[in-house]
């Protein structure tokens, strides 16, 4: 299959949106830009189209998809918000939609089980990217996970989607580089005896600090062997094919003769002094200069992708500060490191 690449720039973006909607209505899948990472979209109410998403991504069907809506009022088409959390959900929407916050809520019966992998909840988000929002507004709710093959690095540019899914899908809309660069924060808003609680299922661009302004935040931990509540918590998600090791202090990494090493550093020479440890085959700096976590987040998957393509034996990664969006960067780094660790 030929994969068409359409640039959604100022003059042509309506045509690009129309073309995407036509394909979605025909039961096809298309890659669309969002502010977090690119998504692979299908009509949320068409199980055959949704099945194509799983097939193209080689994604196991136990891993549910996020549903994107184009306007707040469409929430009721995909979710049934319980009375007791209506005010909480309204507050979350007011502060963070459109944006990088995904809400896990009881699902509407119209949403096929395939979308939610049989869970009685659905993950919903309203993207801040005009193209994704407009497509979802004109077409209606669309299911769209990240546009990468399962277990691989999420794409933050149309070019990266082409590398992942070129030849497998009919259309990629190029809406520029993703503004946030990391997948959305996923929370389940709940009411407890002690009041409202936001259960954090995946850290992302909307930080814990920001969420705490609205309600208490509780991190969901997966006990080994316990059923997974959000399959996105699988340790090996978001991984490069190259083994990756997080190195906090120079002594933790001893280079071996003849091996090719790559360095992922936060701000270059000023960091944990890893730069002089060996003759790096490749280096990528997340935020050159003073170091800014938001810039590091935007560049994170791009840098990982570049290092992954450099034919290395090992990627050595320097940790970033565990605050704000740094929590989400560390989450993805730890998963990448866990992917190759012997069980």
Residues forming contacts to ligand TXA in the complex (CB under 6 A) are 34, 36-37, 39, 63-66, 102, 104, 116, 119, 121-123, 125, 144-146, 183-184, 186, 201, 230-232
Residue 211, binding choice from ligand TXA, Mg ion, none, Cβ under 5 to 8 Å by partner class: none
By CB under 5 A, the count of residues binding Mg ion is 1
Residue 319 Cα to chain centre, angstroms: 20
Contact 69, 91 (CB under 8 A): no
Residue 46 in the binding site for Mg ion (CB under 5 A): no
Q: How far is the CB of 246 from ligand TXA (least distance, A)?
A: 21
Q: How far is the CB of 152 from Mg ion (least distance, A)?
A: 9
Out of 146, 157, 184, 283, point to the residue binding Mg ion (CB under 5 A). Answer: 146
Contact 181, 36 (CB under 8 A): yes
Q: How far is the CB of 188 from ligand TXA (least distance, A)?
A: 7
Residue 63, binding choice from ligand TXA, Mg ion, none, Cβ under 5 to 8 Å by partner class: ligand TXA
Q: How far is the CB of 180 from ligand TXA (least distance, A)?
A: 8
Q: How far is the CB of 233 from ligand TXA (least distance, A)?
A: 7
Residue 186, binding choice from Mg ion, ligand TXA, none, Cβ under 5 to 8 Å by partner class: ligand TXA
Find the angle CA(221)-CA(84)-CA(207) to the nearest 5 degrees. Answer: 40
Radius of gyration of the chain from its Cα atoms, rounded to whole angstroms: 20
The DSSP 8-state label assigned to residue 231 in this structure reads G
Q: How far is the CB of 253 from ligand TXA (least distance, A)?
A: 30
Phi, psi for residue 327 in degrees, rounded to 5 = -60, -40
Of 128, 129, 24, 120, nearest in space to 79 by CA: 120
Residue 123 Cα to chain centre, angstroms: 13
| 111 contacts: CB under 8 Å, gap ≥ 6 | 44, 45, 67, 78, 122
Strands (E), the chain: 4-7, 30-32, 39-43, 66-68, 101-106, 121-125, 142-143, 171-174, 185-192, 195-202, 216-219, 244-246, 261-265, 282-285, 314-317
Residue 271, binding choice from Mg ion, ligand TXA, none, Cβ under 5 to 8 Å by partner class: none
Residue 102 in the binding site for Mg ion (CB under 5 A): no
Residue 119, binding choice from Mg ion, ligand TXA, none, Cβ under 5 to 8 Å by partner class: ligand TXA
Site for Mg ion, rule CB under 5 A: 146
């Amino acid at each position: 299959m030929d994969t068409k690449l359409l640039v959604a720039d100022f003059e042509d973006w309506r045509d690009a949106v129309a073309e995407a909607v036509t394909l979605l209505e025909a039961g096809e899948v298309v890659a669309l830009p969002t502010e977090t990472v690119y998504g692979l979209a299908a009509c949320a109410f068409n199980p055959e189209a949704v099945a194509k998403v799983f097939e193209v991504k080689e994604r196991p069907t136990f891993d549910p998809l996020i549903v994107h809506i184009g306007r707040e009022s469409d929430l009721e088409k995909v979710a049934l918000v319980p009375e007791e959390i209506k005010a909480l959900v309204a507050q979350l929407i007011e502060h963070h939609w459109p944006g990088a916050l995904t809400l896990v809520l009881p699902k509407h019966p119209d949403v096929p089980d395939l979308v939610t992998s049989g869970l009685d909840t659905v993950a919903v988000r309203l993207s801040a990217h005009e193209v994704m929002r407009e497509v979802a507004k004109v077409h209606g709710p669309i299911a769209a996970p990240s546009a990468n093959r399962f277990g691989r690095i999420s794409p933050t540019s149309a070019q990266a989607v082409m590398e992942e899914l070129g030849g497998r899908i009919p259309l990629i809309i190029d809406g520029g580089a993703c503004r946030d660069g990391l997948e959305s924060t996923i929370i389940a808003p709940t009411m407890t005896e002690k009041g409202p609680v936001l259960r954090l299922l995946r850290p992302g661009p909307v930080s814990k600090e920001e969420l705490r302004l609205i309600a208490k935040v509780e991190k969901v931990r997966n006990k080994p062997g316990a059923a997974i509540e959000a399959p996105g918590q699988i340790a090996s998600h978001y991984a490069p094919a190259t083994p990756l090791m997080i190195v906090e202090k120079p002594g933790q990494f001893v280079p071996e003769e003849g091996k090719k090493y790559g360095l992922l550093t936060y701000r270059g020479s000023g960091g944990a002094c890893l730069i002089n440890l060996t003759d790096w085959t490749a280096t990528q700096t997340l935020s050159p200069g003073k170091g800014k976590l938001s810039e590091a987040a935007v560049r994170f998957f791009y840098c990982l992708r570049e290092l992954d393509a450099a034919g290395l034996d090992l990627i050595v990664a320097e940790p970033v500060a565990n605050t704000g969006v740094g929590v989400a960067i560390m989450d993805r780094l730890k998963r990448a490191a866990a992917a190759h660790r012997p069980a």
